């Protein structure tokens, strides 16, 4: 039987959807709003194709443009983010906010997604002169950064095999497992230090509570204690 058009490869509609989703990922990974040309280059398409994708995302409020025409993620994505692990999101929001303001650092929750970690909840305190943006939806490989090391340190051998195909912990994860926390610098963003502790809740993906700052605090023990207390409070709210 001659294959139908649908069975021979991706349709135009599925390709457009794929590019639209990739556009959201590119915008989430960008440190600043992007131009349409930069977005087109990231997608590997002509500027006119990128503009059509942008218009659709803009109509649904998934992206927005500033007065200069630069593109950023839109507020609609915040609503969608609440639908990802909603109980964890609710349980974590208040403790993470208090952690951010107590330490004067951006505080956030990341969860494991295949071989990447994704930011679920993030709070930037307004009581300090400068903070580091960590938008919900931002992702990076699990083998980079303190949140990934902390999450990996909490995995059982079976979970590691399912996620990575092997049971052996990385050196960074072994150190985090021994110490109860993970520290990284320049692994995800140059000049940025991250500190994280694992968070395991029944029914939720492996997670970590973390903070990021420009410099390693003088008293890391106090930061780790605050992170661990936050993880305990989230677990109590989750019950």
What is the per-residue pLDDT across 105-139, written as a single tens digit (0 to 9) for each? 999 999 998 888 988 889 999 988 878 877 777 88
Q: Which fold has domain 5-74?
A: Arc Repressor Mutant, subunit A (1.10.10)
- 233 CA to centre of own chain: 21
Residue corresponding to tokens 């692994």:
187
Asked if residue 30 lies in contact with residue 43, where contact means CB atoms within 8 angstroms, the answer is no
Going from N- to C-terminal start, the domains of the chain cover: 5-74, 79-238
Tell me how far apart the alpha carbons of residues 150 and 90 are, in angstroms, rounded to a whole number: 22
CATH 3.40.50.880 fits 79-238, yes or no: no
For residue 101, the model assigns a pLDDT of 95
What is the reported pLDDT for 7?
44
Q: What is the predicted pLDDT for the residue at 81?
A: 63
pLDDT at 3: 44
Torsion sign, CA atoms 18, 70, 130, 192: positive
Low-confidence ranges of the chain (pLDDT < 70): 1-13, 78-85
Q: What is the pLDDT of residue 2?
A: 41
């Amino acid at each position: 039987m001659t294959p139908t058009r649908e069975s021979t490869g991706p349709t135009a509609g599925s390709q457009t959807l794929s590019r639209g989703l990739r556009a959201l990922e590119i915008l989430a990974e960008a440190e600043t709003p992007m131009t349409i040309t930069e977005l087109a280059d990231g997608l590997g398409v002509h500027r006119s194709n990128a503009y059509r994708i942008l218009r659709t995302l803009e109509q649904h409020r998934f992206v927005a443009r500033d007065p200069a025409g630069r593109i950023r993620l839109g507020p609609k994505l915040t609503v969608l983010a609440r639908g990802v692990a909603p109980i964890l999101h609710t349980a974590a929001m208040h403790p993470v906010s208090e952690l951010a303001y107590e330490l004067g650092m951006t505080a956030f929750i990341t969860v494991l997604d295949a071989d990447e970690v994704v930011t679920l909840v993030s709070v930037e305190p307004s009581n300090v002169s400068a903070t580091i943006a960590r938008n919900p939806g931002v992702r990076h490989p699990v083998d980079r950064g303190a949140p990934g090391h902390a999450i990996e340190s909490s995995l059982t051998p079976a979970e590691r095999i399912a996620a990575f195909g092997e049971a052996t912990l990385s050196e960074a994860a072994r150190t985090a497992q021994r110490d109860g926390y993970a520290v990284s610098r320049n692994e995800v963003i140059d000049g940025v230090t991250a500190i994280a502790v694992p968070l395991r809740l029944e029914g939720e993906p492996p997670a970590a509570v973390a903070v990021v700052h420009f410099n390693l605090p003088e008293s890391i023990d106090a930061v780790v204690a605050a992170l661990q207390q936050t993880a305990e409070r989230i677990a109590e709210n989750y019950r």
